Chain A
Amino acid sequence: GESVGLHLPTLSVQEGDNSIINCAYSNSASDYFIWYKQESGKGPQFIIDIRSNMDKRQGQRVTVLLNKTVKHLSLQIAATQPGDSAVYFCAENNAGNMLTFGGGTRLMVKP
């Protein structure tokens, strides 16, 4: 799979606002997608996943939207909190148990 990793965009939001993090995935055959949150010094933490037979899935304060037509994935975080500050990665699965990761987006929450 491809690795998109050199550029790390930053999203800065005010505490209490909603955040939207976007991801363009690479393989139209991918059928499973995961969003991870990674804090400094820690491994990626599972947030939410979605399979290709769905276009929306909701969790606690988070929603993932999948647009297969344009190969686009988004993560919406409601009422963003300081504890949400981290790097967020989308990952796609199209073969076996291997994930291909996007480059990540840094979310900074201003108090």
Chain B
Amino acid sequence: KAGVTQTPRYLIKTRGQQVTLSCSPISGHRSVSWYQQTPGQGLQFLFEYFSETQRNKGNFPGRFSGRQFSNSRSEMNVSTLELGDSALYLCASSSTSQQGIYGYTFGSGTRLTVV
């Protein structure tokens, strides 16, 4: 089955602009999580959406936001971009069983460069 699809793959934006990234989860997965990956900080959790509701949130400023649609597709938005927002943004989808989460699968990411 198709994996997690993220678009676009690459983006270059100017400081102060805003950006929207898109993620389509694996069919049947209702949970979508977003992560930021940088060389200095590694992989850090941004937020998680389930059934169109944000369930968990990491320690990022309010400039970072997201949403999820009824088909489980998710978008994340970063407003007023800063140079430090340059990173690989990863989306992961997962499902849940009685044992807990499973199938935690990442997309290839969107490489955002802020200039």
A binds B: yes
Contact A5 B99 (CB under 8 A): no
Which residue of B33, B45, B100 is within 8 Å of A31 (Cβ)?
A: B100
CB distance from A26 to the nearest CB of B (A): 13
Contacts of A80-111 to chain B: CB distance below 8 A: 89, 91, 93, 95-104
Q: Does B84 lie at the interface of the complex (its beta carbon under 8 Å from any beta carbon of A)?
A: no
Q: Which range contains the number of B residues in contact with the other chain?
A: 20 to 34
Q: Does A42 lie at the interface of the complex (its beta carbon under 8 Å from any beta carbon of B)?
A: yes
Contact B56 A95 (CB under 8 A): yes
Contact A1 B45 (CB under 8 A): yes
> Contact residues of B with A, CB < 8 Å?
4, 6, 31, 33, 35, 38, 40-45, 48, 50, 55-56, 58, 90, 92, 94, 96, 99-102, 104-109
Q: A43-B107, A46-B105 are in contact. List 10 more A-B contacts (CB 8 A).
A: A5-B41, A6-B42, A36-B106, A43-B6, A44-B43, A44-B90, A46-B106, A96-B56, A98-B56, A99-B104
